[in-house]
Each structure stands twice: as structure tokens, then as C-alpha cells.
Structure 1
Amino acid sequence: MATSYLRVLDLARVQCRIFSHNFNPERLRLGNKVLRQRLRGPILATWYPKKTVSFRDLQNTYEPLGLTTFDEAEDDREESIQIAKLRGKGRPKKKRTAAGKDPSCSTAFVLGV
């Protein structure tokens, strides 16, 4: 004697409830295999070490209070920039022409009129 299809579905539903599975009689691809896996977020979040306090953070903290701090690395950088400028090795100066006054940007110059 064959069991009815509805009885088999009821048995499958109870079995899924007992073993904490999803009941899917149509056998659709629901992505349950991926959803059952452990979450990777916490592992990826701890990949890089935690950020430590930098000197710039301390400067920003004490600046509103009117306290000044001295950053030797920043001072050395500014000094090397000044020395490079004196030797002519600094960045070039910006071009100081008005927007409509540059003859090379004119359409008459490009067309040769």
C-alpha cells in the first residue's frame, strides 16, 4: 500500500522543523547553504590592527584649548620645502591669467582667424 503524497509532505515538514532545516517541497534554489555558513564580518573587521593614537590626534585634541604642540617631523618637512624653494626646486607657481584673457584658449587663435 503506497503512502499518499500529502502524508509524505507532512512528514518532511515535521522532519525539517525538528532538525532546523527549511521546508522546500518545490526544491527551489534558496541559497540556504550560503546562509547557514558562519558570518565572515567579524573576522574581516579584525584583520587590520586597531589604530593607535597619533601625534596629529593629540594636536587636534589640544588645539581648541589654545595649547600649541611642536611636531618635529612636520617642522623638518616645512624646512626642507623652504630649502628646496630657495634652490629653485619647489613646485612651480600657478599661472596668473584671467579666464577670458588667455590668447591660447581663444577660438580665434585655434582657428587661425
Structure 2
Amino acid sequence: MAVQCRVFNTTYNPERLRMGTHILHQRLKGASVASYYPPRIGTIKQLRALYPDFEILHDKEEDWLEAQQVARSRGKAPPKKKRTAAESKKFNKRR
């Protein structure tokens, strides 16, 4: 029996214990189960993309944008990204 299991690449189980390997050999069900349910809308961004005509408000995003505006007015916001190599070299001169 041990040689037969080695040849056919099966599990050697002389005590016939319940191991659950038959479940591992079955086809996966995840894709068919997932296709049964409608797609999830996880973020406000996805909701806005689905319904562009409606104005959808997001309180956390508005608070964050307001905090960014206040920080910019005080000069505490992060610097703007450099778009070209010339712009980045211009400010990286060593003194």
C-alpha cells in the first residue's frame, strides 16, 4: 500500500483516519459564489464614479481638505512636487 501511494502520489493512511484531503482536491467555489452577489461599493470614490450626476458629500474628506487649506495658508503644507529634473536640481544645490 505504501509503494502504491508513492507511485500514484496519494496519501498513505493505513489507520484510515479522517484527514480532510478530499476537500482540498475539490474544485474551488469562490468565483462562482462571488459572482452570485452584486459588486460591493467600498469607497465614496467608487460611488461618485457610478453616479456622476449626484453631489455626494464625504465629511472626512471635506475636513481633511479644509485642514490642508489652513496648513497652506500658514505655510505648513508639504511642498509641491517637482515636475521636471530642472526644477528639482534648482533647489538641491549644496551650499
Q: TM-score, length-normalised on structure 2?
A: 0.46
TM-score by length of 1: 0.41
Q: Which one scores higher on RCO, CA 8 angstroms, separation ≥ 6? A: 2
